[in-house]
Amino acid sequence: MLKKVLACAVLVALSGCSDNTSSSATTNTQVKDQKAQSVTYPETKKGEVVDVYFDQKVADPYRWLEDDMSSDTADWVKTQNNLTFSYLENIPYRDKLKASLEKLMNYEKVTAPFIEGDYTYFYKNDGLQNQYVLYRSKGESDAEVFLDPNKFSEDGTTSMSGLTFSEDGSLAAYQISEGGSDWRKVIIINTQTKEQIESALIDVKFSGISWVGNDGFYYSSYNKPKGSELSAKTDQHKVYYHKLGTAQTADELIFGGTDNEKHRYIGASVTRDNKYLVISASVSTSGNKLFIKDLTKPDSKLVTILGHTDSDTYVFDNDGSKLYLVTNLNAPNKKVVTVDAANPTPENWQDLIPETDNVLSMSKGGDFFFAKYMVDAISKVKQFDKAGKLVREISLPGVGTARGFGGKKESSTLYYSFANYTTPGNTYSFDVNTGQSDVYRKSGAKFDSAQYTSEQVFYTSKDGTKVPMIISYKKDVKLDGTNPTILYGYGGFNASLTPSFSSTVAAWLEQGGVYAVANIRGGGEYGKQWHDAGTQLKKQNVFDDFIAAAEYLNEKKYTSSDYLAVRGGSNGGLLVGAVMTQRPELFKVALPAVGVLDMLRYHTFTAGAGWAYDYGTSEQSKEMFDYLHGYSPVHNVKAGVKYPATMITTGDHDDRVVPAHSYKFAAELQAKGAGANPYFIRIETNAGHGAGTPTSKIIDQYADIYGFTLYNMGIKSL
């Protein structure tokens, strides 16, 4: 659950909603009676496994579902999917929702251009293509297809990521994921002929690709685990150097091979002048050690910049031996410092761009630095020269999120995108010398922003903390407590939820729905302190913040508990699982996606032990075990309790948050949950944690999610 990856993975929304709610109470009862008569859950067998934690016995009757290689688990998945889909197929407006999603997603999407060698490249999706296609042009010539991932597999489930070009652009290496797995293959091609030049590298995971000139590149991976590659533990990351023209078995091990160098996540990058190799090593998703090696001296050793994991620090740029670092060491909101590579330890650091009250992230281009600040989750961007002098504050098109401002050192024109929940993402060009912004490409989304509003509110959590939330809806929506509403959250891993545009959110808003995003603790919206306030023995703050958001929406009549759905993915799936078991009466529908739901065993799968900074582990101490056991969703489903109508979603190839979390939670709900509300699990086959999911699957998934949600709010027709 690497932060970047996490951070992205999982923002979702709803589509399609009826505004015919005048007889909602009667309609709701009728629908519930129908469901109570029709849903019969298959019996999930129980085993006899009992674990002992600090002298306390904890039964784990569904441990057998952790075996993703067994025929019993495969049969269970098939049976559960049959049940779920037979229910979904009877929702009368399922096809209408699918058509609505297709219409709203069917517009041409084109990314900002970038230059490599003699070519200008850009990604484009014609509308409903499963994967974006990479195009290129030379000079004034027409664009041609360079790589089309839609041809990698018949069903679109093989995706491309991590494309990196060699120094002169004559070679490129890209990663492919099959079935959504985090295990990747690396394909190396000649960019002139587009032909693969050697055998693919295999078994690469959580890795960048960083070239040294045109000769080879650094990458990271784990030893392939024994047993299931989708669930077995992986905890010793290693950095290798691959020299072109040699076999992968001959790749040089650079770092991570010894006990002293053992870390769960290791990244390697080469400075743009090919002078230095920089290695970042982490035991968890927060905090890293940092090392540097002079590549101009063949026998040089790794030099330690930071030998502890008390901060998140990385080398951002360099001018010769002068290093520019971004760090939150003694600066929770981050700052930029400089140091000479010969003596790079913190006592020699000099502030270049000091810490402020707002969280900082950096980009570079045109020989300038761009400081992007979050002010209550909203973007503010400043341009600095490399001496740290402010050049200008950049005027953005509105209130929302700006992404980009990156490019090569010699570029005079950079690009950025701007969007919010009700404004489709336009791409802008930016002149680094004049500060002039112009629309480069206007979004083709078929959405009239003028009809909608997004407002930011600040509500009070249980302990008095003020928490921001952005609420979006159609301007003519009446705040009378009857509006179908989706409340989304994440609350972990220093990940920030900033305003963005989604066609699926647009579909929900078009039907009169309310969409609310709460910037709860555990995220990174207010820096390291905000993150730490939602970790380990403070994790309940995250759940309290989210519960308070729901109560605010009810109190202010945006919605009511009969029309409130709660959704989150990955760590956000844990969030949903926790609040629905703690306050089941507060929500009508719960939608935990690819969630971390067994908090006693999460660290035993794949790279899960790396999440301990946020969660702690059940083996850490009795206090930590008791705390985790007290909120772990799998362990807090109580017999005889009426839980919200629940549809758990996961992928059978998810090797980041293994699907066993979701399987166990579904089994517990079906065995113990009371009342007429349904408790289903929808398992996408040949799919992983979310990245690279083909468009066709996204449309199907959300037609089902939205249909389930609206149907269980008592809405009979659209």
Active centre residues (catalytic): 570, 689
- Residues 29, 646: Cα–Cα separation, whole Å: 17
Residues 424-445, buried b or exposed e (16+ Cβ, 10 A)? bbbbbbbebeeeebeebbebeb
* Single-letter residue type at 187: I
- Cβ burial of 193 (10 Å; 0-12, 13-18, 19+) is exposed
DSSP class of 451 = G
Q: Is 448 exposed, middle or buried (0-12, 13-18, 19+ CB in 10 A)?
A: exposed
Residue with tokens 């394909």: 187
Q: What is the DSSP string of 256-294?
A: S-SSTT--SEEEEEE-TTS-EEEEEEESSSS--EEEEEE
Judge whether 204 and 182 are in contact, CB under 8 Å.
no
**Taking Cα atoms as reference points, which of 567, 589, 577, 588 lies closest to residue 518?**
567
d(CA 434, CA 440): 16
8 A C-beta contact, residue 370 and residue 415: no
CA distances from 189 to 114, 122, 172, 214 (A): 18, 18, 5, 12
Angstrom distance (rounded) from CA 700 to CA 402: 30
* CA–CA separation, 412 and 365 (whole Å): 8
402 backbone dihedrals φ, ψ, rounded to 5°:
-105, 130
How many CB atoms neighbour CB 373 within 10 A? 18
d(CA 202, CA 402): 36
* 385 vs 392: CA distance, rounded Å: 10
Strands 114-116 and 350-353: unpaired
User: What is the C-alpha R_g of the chain?
Assistant: 25
The span from the CA of 40 to the CA of 678, in Å, is 9
SS3 (DSSP) at 310: coil
- Kindly compute the dihedral angle of the four CA atoms of residues 96, 550, 553, 528, in this order, to the nearest 10 degrees: -110
Structure tokens at 530: 């905000």
Helix (H, G, I), strand (E, B) or coil at 516: strand
683 forms bridges with which residues in the sheet? 650
In contact, 654 and 569? CB cutoff 8 Å = no
Q: Which of 168, 118, 167 is nearest to 146 (CA)?
A: 118
CA 153 to chain centre: 24
Could you give the CA distance from residue 153 to residue 158 in angstroms, rounded to a whole number? 6
| Phi-psi label, residue 423: left if phi above 0, alpha if psi -120 to 50, beta otherwise | beta
The amino acid at 270: V
**Is there a contact between 377 and 468 (Cβ–Cβ < 8 Å)?**
yes
Tokens of 319: 């001018």
Rounded Cα–Cα distance for residues 469 and 523 (Å): 13
